[in-house]
Chain A
Amino acid sequence: MNKKILGIFLLALCMVSLAEAQGRKGLRINEVLIVNETNYQDDYGCQSAWIELFNTTFGTVDVRSCYLTNDKNNPKKYPIPKGDVLTEMPPRQHLLFWADGMPSRGTFHVNFTLDPTKDNWIGLYDANGRDLIDSVTVPAGIPADHSYARAEDGVGHWVIKGDDGSGYVTPSTNNITLDKNVKIEMFSEHDPFGVGMAIMAMAIVFSGLLLLYLLFRLIGQISVLIKKRNAMRVHGISDKEEAKEKGFGQESGEIYAAISMALYQHLEVHDVEDTILTINKVKRAYSPWNSKIYSLREIPHKK
């Protein structure tokens, strides 16, 4: 029995390790711009290639100690430095790294550059330098000031975006601007009277409680069966019909309540004494807050 339980526990542990971890695993390379002529400038006033990361999770993620690289054979090419609070990414927010090959300019300047004449593979590795979190291959020949970006933040296919009608380049901000709550708009448009919502929601509430009902009906039946079997054993009855007639297993709570009350009356009944005899030392901690001397009167209690 113990071996079985241990086996189930170990199996559960193995399955836990398969679960997708939250946190850094939720980071995504979100947008890359390689030829920067008139686009975003860094703090030095320089225009360089940039790589935007996006935190897809709803929790803060610190990217320190992760690695950014453009070389599959060297996953630890640029370790994102520790000790900079700015490496903490708030939920659903972005972080921009400059691919200018000048790491001495600060945390967000990586030690490699991107070549516009050929495909650029970019990878983001976890702190162990082995687990690839996300990667993208940016095709060669993307026009200047055009970015290679996900259609939606953190998800979706990659598209080329520029300010020429093919979408906007959006460094450090959302790839799609949401100016309304799509869900609410959809409900307003397709279900203006709320009938659909009422039907769907009631169906869900009913199915939840119906499932609970069916399950506990089954559990109740099993419980009654077990009680019945135990009662038959105690009374030495083997005939199921007889047990059914006597209502074994179906005793109401009222019977038990009456028995309990009778036992209580018989065994526990006391006079009105409010003290007990003891050989233990009785300690009474003194505090002015519980002293009657300092209180004016009792808290009134409405009968």
Chain B
Amino acid sequence: MKHPSITWDDAIVSPGADDLRVPPPARREEEENTGPPKLYRHRTGRIVGGVAGGIAEHLGVRVLWVRAVFAVLVALGGAGIAAYAMLWLFVRQESQDAPVHEDSGRGRQQAIALLVLACALAFALSNFAGPAVSRYGAPLIIVLAGAAVVWREADAAQRKRWASGVVGKGGTSGALRVAFGTLLVLGGLVLVLINGRSLGLTQFVVLAVVVALLGVAVLTLPWWLRMVRELGEERRARIRTEERAEIAAHLHDSVLQTLALIQKQSESPREVARLARGQERQLRTWLYGPDGYGRKSVPTEPGAAEGAEPDTLGAALEQAVSEVEDTFAIEVEQVAVGDCELDDRLRAAVQATREAMVNAAKHAGVRQVSLYAEVEDDAVALFVRDRGAGFDPDAVSEDRHGVADSIKGRMARNGGEVRIRTGLGEGTEVQLRMPRAVVAGR
């Protein structure tokens, strides 16, 4: 095999060739899989809420290190507790069918040891921090432990809901655990209150109310969050269902109907081709058109695009092409470079183009016609070409209106030019040129 002036090696070796490549369209899904795994709380192999495991997987580090960092943060004034609680609440748990994470006994021991160590350290350090902290430290830890028990149960309840749709068999023990957690939280809060005895009566009542509200908030937080999430999920599910129904309806109305028609018309290849082409175009518009299904943009009102008068050159040409294709059962290969607003002159040019395509369809005796449109700064150039019979321009009688009136007359009236290149057996090319009224940037 001989090599052309450019070889593959050029393309590969050139510096930065990789950077030049067009990035794949964002809608491709595989791209999402190449990044780090999304952050989910682990469902299995967890000690408290599965947060550390999830972070470890997300960052690609060992779970022990994550736990150690949390422990250090806990020891340093309890920031780790706040961080952990936030992550627990706001990071979603992984789904039911996620792979099971191995739960090595050693890892579990290490984790629990870390946890105890962190709590002890926090407690010890808080003793130096001042009387206020030490006074509220122990009750707060009790409150947090209670909250952890309740939140864990909330996770479990959600899992059961997914599994069976109702509160599962673990109902009684689950309720017991919730009650225990609640008791812990309340007990801790009461301890806080007891520590506040020295306050005046009004202050004590205010503190009690605040503490009670806080307790309720802490205990019910997972349920509130879940409610919000489920609302969102329900909405998404509904949208998906609607979308699916829409696709099914569309396929039924279009593709299935066409296939039925094709079966009926199978005697006539021309008719089959016409049906297939019409359907292909419709499907393409649906998928890739400006409001198409394959586009990311929000679809406009269904049917808004149909029947509307096109307002750009490209759309008008497309419409003309599809009319000609459908009427004469030919194929028009349409290539357009640039696009612009349609004005009266260009509308006339499109009409003339349509007429040229009709002529090609009627007289050339071929099934394929090329249409090329280019928007230049000062004019629009249109070319309609076929490889058919061609004709002798001088021999065309005066009473043939097609070329004379519809094309030449129309273009001349609007200030455009027409050139026709043809010859017997050489095919025909109609070249149209229409100046643009306003030189507008795209």
Q: Do A and B come from one complex?
A: no
Name B residues whose Cβ lies closer than 8 Å to a Cβ of A: none
Name A residues whose Cβ lies closer than 8 Å to a Cβ of B: none
